[in-house]
Structure 1
Amino acid sequence: MADDDQMTRQRYRQQASDADDAGETSSASRREYAAENNRALEEAKTKRLGRKLNWVILGLTFAIIIVFLILFFTP
């Protein structure tokens, strides 16, 4: 085997340590991205739910008005 193919233990540990450091940085940024993404999804879902609830309230209000009109105008 050539000397280039062989790796000393120290050099191997150094490369493994460098890879771990890079992995921690990317995993931290991945966690931050996931947290931000979850917050954005939660906001979007909350807005959508609020819009649906507004339509339901409006529909119920109209239904109540219609019932009162029917009760008022029927003999």
Structure 2
Amino acid sequence: MADDDRLTRQQYRQQRSQPTGHDTQEQESPTAEPSASRQAYAAENNRAVEEAKTKRLARKLNWAIAGLVVGIIIVFLILFLTP
């Protein structure tokens, strides 16, 4: 394969998105629909995974903040209550 034959991803997508005379019938067929639904499913799945990770991180940060607050309170109690 020569270097001239190689396409970047963007060029390949543009080439695929431009309909030609014989491709218009194929694009109107129902086979184009699953591709769109797969992309929608993948986008929804990625969003759900991202949401779950965000919630998990928020929970961990809340526990860390609570631990620090308790630690600060204990240090102040030790400093003020010891003679």
- Does TM-score exceed 0.5, indicating one fold? yes
- Name the % identity: 15
Aligned residues: 62
Report 1:1-75 matches (<5 A): 9=22, 12-17=23-28, 18-70=30-82, 73=83
Higher-helix-fraction structure: 1
Aligned twin of 1:3: none
User: Gaps (5+ residues) in structure 1?
Assistant: 1-8
- C-alpha distance after superposition, 1:26-54 (max 9, x if no partner): 01001110111111011000000001011
RMSD of aligned alpha carbons: 1.8
Report the Cα distance in structure 1 between the residues aligned to 2:71 and 2:25, rounded to whole angstroms.
67
Report the Cα distance in structure 2 between the residues aligned to 1:14 and 1:44, rounded to whole angstroms.
47
> Normalising to structure 1: TM-score of the pair?
0.70
> Normalising to structure 2: TM-score of the pair?
0.64
User: Gaps (5+ residues) in structure 2?
Assistant: 1-21
